[in-house]
Amino acid sequence: MNDIIDVVVLNENPGGADGGDKKPLSRRTRLIIGIAAAVVLAAAGVIAPMLVYTGGSAALTVTVFSGGAAEVMLKPGVETALNAFLASGGDVPGYPLRIDASADTISVSADGGSLFTWSAPDNVKTDRGSSWDLNPGETVFWSPYANPDADPVPQCTVTVTARRGGTDTAQARLIVRQTGGTAYSITLLANE
């Protein structure tokens, strides 16, 4: 019974280890604690998203021809001159866009001009209109002409969407613009 009384008496003591005689933290100490807390929160905000598994990347790559037969993989924000009209087995010229991604299918749509495919062995050109679905690594041609009798479009947006399991996994927008006569350039705007 004396032990219980001693405990009660010790717990009633306002000074010492239970905080009765604490000094307030200095301004410098509070500043250091505040900065450390901000650094920890910022680090957690940067690192936490990296720890979440998203099922893998479906990064899109678009390859064009520029400067003769040189293949150029487009990079965001870099305007790339397209070769002069390439023969495409028909009366409508076109620029090849080889598109690859870690996806099941790739959808390509253009808000100007037209899309077509061309098989080199038998030189057969197939009009695809303003949109077409293809397999990763395949090539689709973009033409500045909606049809052989139309005037060429001065600019258009080509949207490329990668899909895996029926879900959109990546998207890129390309701006194709006329730089003079029959010359065009292409710019990858965004990988979303």
Q: Is the pLDDT of residue 174 over 80?
A: yes
List the domain range (segments joined by +) for residue 90.
61-191
Q: Are residues 132 and 75 in the same domain?
A: yes
- Residue 104 has what pLDDT? 93
Q: Name the nearest CA neighbour of 146 among 133, 156, 160, 159.
A: 156
Q: Are residues 43 and 105 in the same domain?
A: no
- pTM to 2 decimals? 0.66
Q: Are residues 70 and 119 in the same domain?
A: yes
Whole-number Å distance between alpha carbons of 163 and 101: 9
Greater pLDDT, 49 or 155: 155
> How many domains does the chain contain in total?
2
Greater pLDDT, 149 or 104: 104
Taking only the tens place, the pLDDT of each residue in 14-54 is 555 555 567 788 889 888 998 988 888 777 776 655 554 34
